Amino acid sequence: MNDHQMVTDLFIRHFNFWPHLSTAEKALINTHTKIVHYKRGETVHQGTLDCIGVTLVKKGQLRVYTMSEDGREVTLYRLFPDDVGILSASCAFESVTFDVYVDAEEDTEVLLTESIAFRKLAKDNVYVRCYGYEMSARRLSEMLWKMQQVLFLSADRRLAIFLLEESEKMKTDEIHLTHEQIARFMGTAREVVSRLVKYFNQEGWVKPSRGCIRLLDKESLRQLAGNP
């Protein structure tokens, strides 16, 4: 399979607007799409300073976050293989402006459709425009849920929610993250996470080890999270 066919197949699988594109529109999106590699820790998107385009993650992981005036980061959500990042192309849509940052959490490979092409498609094709707004609304919902947690939920409940969501997402009871990483994802201090992990361990809910937390009592964690 050549690169052109690979890109086309991925678009067919992930973008429901693909069947509604004309031959010229398909050619446009293929011409302006490329494979991009990011090293772990590399900045992918810098808030309003960037409008790189739409990203489709092939390998690795991207972290989308916002930043307070004092420099504190709050992770909004993460993108894993087969996830589409639309907010890095918010300039392609009128009335969609999100000041978010995106970093590579791992060595990551993405298919990047440049914003100039996606903007033209969104302007000329109602199916592309609807897809963009639908994806933006979905990400906004995730962002509001995260902000609700930060503003209104206690730290122990937030950690329980995080561990359960991570376990479900990764299909394992072993969470291979450091306390520092968890703190960054939760938008809190590492010391808070370490204190709570120690407490959860004393209660018999988790078993921590170096760079790993094993969930032992998910039912108790669910009750703490508010999902009995």
| CATH topology identical between 3-151 and 154-225 | no
Query: What sign does the dihedral 155-83-66-37 (CA atoms) show?
Result: positive
CATH superfamily for 3-151 is: Jelly Rolls (2.60.120.10)
Q: Which amino acid belongs to residue 48?
A: T
Tell me the C-alpha distance between 80 and 91, whole Å. Answer: 23
Q: What is the pLDDT of residues 141-190, one digit of tens each?
A: 888 888 888 788 899 999 999 999 999 988 999 999 999 999 988 888 89
Tell me the C-alpha distance between 137 and 143, whole Å. Answer: 10
pLDDT of residue 150: 78
Residue 67: count other Cβ atoms within 10 Å of its Cβ: 13
Structure tokens at 47: 């808030």
Q: What is the pLDDT of residues 44-63, one digit of tens each?
A: 988 666 777 888 999 999 99
Tell me the C-alpha distance between 163 and 144, whole Å. Answer: 19
Q: What is the pLDDT of residues 80-90, one digit of tens each?
A: 999 998 877 66
3-state secondary structure of 203: coil
Structure tokens at 96: 């969609």
Domain 154-225 coded CATH 1.10.10.10: yes
Q: Where are the domains of the chain?
A: 3-151, 154-225
- Whether 106 and 61 have beta carbons less than 8 Å apart is answered as yes
